[in-house]
């Protein structure tokens, strides 16, 4: 196997493999990079990203951020989110278009996932449990939409649920051999039970049937944390192949846009939107759920953008991320 001169004196330190594709971590004078090696027509094709110099501005900024204590990182994340919200409020005049944009980005992420499963013929790096949690909250929300407020969102949820069920089928049966069962080790009940208990305690105070109100709260809470098993898989593998990274990043962007839609709507109505949702803790919990499901992916999105700007094909997560 021949490597270009840029990899002279390169030390192979780690290899992670899945069907037809291999990921190797190379150490070049102390600077690590992850390279994809794919088998095609009985040949090994190496997709090498040129290792960038450490003096690039983007590298200097990311290195500085990485060295900051957790409190400073949290402050920078909040500051960045506020700056993005301010930008959207100035640029986007019809804030309802943010919801449409969120659905569009989510659809792009699902399209990438479909491509991965049909063309790459592998589900390596994907969490079956995250997909099952997604199907669960979509099913509950679909039921609530039918009995509480049937609208265009109901049709969107039907399409998303159908796609999610297909993904679950592919992982469970068609591509079972490539499923990383040992990495997808976050028990579902750790996520479902707290959401169920919270929905019993805090739910809408509308005139609908109590059971429907509890179910609606349950799907809101479950949606906020449904990505946790996927994050656990990435935490365990440390290496995220491109299609999975694109899919999870799309989820992060979609959730940020959805959260921005809610926050800006609250600001535009001067809080009347929250009172329209009912009284008590429920309105605050809805907004908090939107914020949680946005920031829960913030760390991953940061490393995704850093990897993309750095020209790396495969995303390698440092210890402690997600």
- SS3 label, residue 45: strand
**DSSP letter for each residue of 13-41:** EEEEEETTEEEEEEEETTEEEEEEEEEET
Q: For position 133, what pLDDT does the model report? A: 96
Q: Provide the angle, in degrees to the nearest 10, between the axes of the packed helices 210-225 and 189-201.
A: 140
Give dist(CA 162, CA 124) in Å, integer. 21
pLDDT of the chain, 322 residues: tens digit per residue:
444 434 333 334 444 444 555 555 555 445 455 555 555 444 444 544 444 444 566 666 666 766 767 667 666 766 777 777 677 767 776 767 787 788 888 888 988 999 999 998 999 999 999 999 999 999 999 998 888 776 777 888 888 899 999 999 999 999 999 999 999 999 999 999 999 999 999 998 878 888 999 999 999 999 999 999 999 999 898 888 888 889 999 999 988 888 888 778 777 777 666 665 666 788 888 888 888 888 888 888 877 887 777 666 666 766 655 5
Structure tokens at 205: 């105070």
pTM score of the predicted model? 0.73
Give dist(CA 113, CA 127) in Å, integer. 12
- SS3 label, residue 186: coil
CB count, 10 Å around CB of 51? 19
Alpha-carbon distance values, 231 to 30, 53, 112, 239, 272 (Å): 28, 30, 18, 12, 35
Phi–psi pair at 131, nearest 5 degrees: -65, -35
Q: For position 304, what pLDDT does the model report? A: 84
Give dist(CA 57, CA 163) in Å, integer. 41
- SS3 label, residue 149: coil
């Amino acid at each position: 196997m021949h490597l270009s001169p840029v990899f002279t004196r390169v030390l192979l330190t780690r290899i992670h493999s899945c069907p037809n594709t291999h990921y190797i971590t190379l150490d070049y004078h102390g600077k690590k990079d992850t390279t994809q090696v794919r088998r095609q027509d009985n040949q090994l094709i190496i997709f090498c990203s040129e290792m960038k110099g450490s003096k690039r501005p983007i590298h200097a900024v990311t290195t500085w951020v990485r060295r900051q204590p957790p409190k400073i990182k949290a402050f920078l994340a909040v500051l960045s989110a506020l700056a993005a919200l301010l930008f959207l409020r100035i640029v986007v005049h019809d804030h309802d278009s943010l919801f449409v944009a969120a659905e569009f980005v989510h659809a792009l992420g699902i399209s990438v996932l479909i491509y991965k499963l049909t063309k790459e013929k592998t589900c390596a790096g994907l969490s079956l449990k995250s997909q099952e949690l997604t199907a669960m909250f979509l099913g509950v929300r679909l039921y609530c939409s039918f009995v509480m407020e049937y609208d265009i969102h109901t049709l969107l949820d039907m399409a998303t649920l159908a796609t999610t069920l297909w993904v679950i089928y592919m992982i469970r049966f068609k591509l079972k051999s490539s499923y990383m069962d040992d990495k997808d080790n976050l028990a579902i009940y750790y996520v479902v039970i707290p959401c169920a208990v919270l929905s019993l305690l805090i739910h809408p105070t509308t005139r609908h049937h109590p059971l429907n109100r509890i179910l609606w709260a349950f799907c809101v809470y479950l949606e906020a944390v449904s990505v946790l098993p996927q994050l656990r898989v990435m935490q365990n593998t440390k290496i995220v192949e491109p299609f999975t990274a694109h899919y999870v990043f799309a989820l992060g962007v979609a959730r940020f846009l959805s959260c921005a839609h809610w926050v800006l709507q609250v600001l535009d109505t001067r809080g009347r939107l929250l009172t329209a949702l009912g009284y008590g803790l429920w309105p605050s919990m809805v907004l908090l759920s939107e914020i949680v499901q946005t920031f829960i992916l913030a760390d991953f999105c940061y490393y995704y953008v850093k990897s993309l700007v750095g020209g790396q094909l495969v995303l390698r997560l440092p210890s402690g991320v997600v």
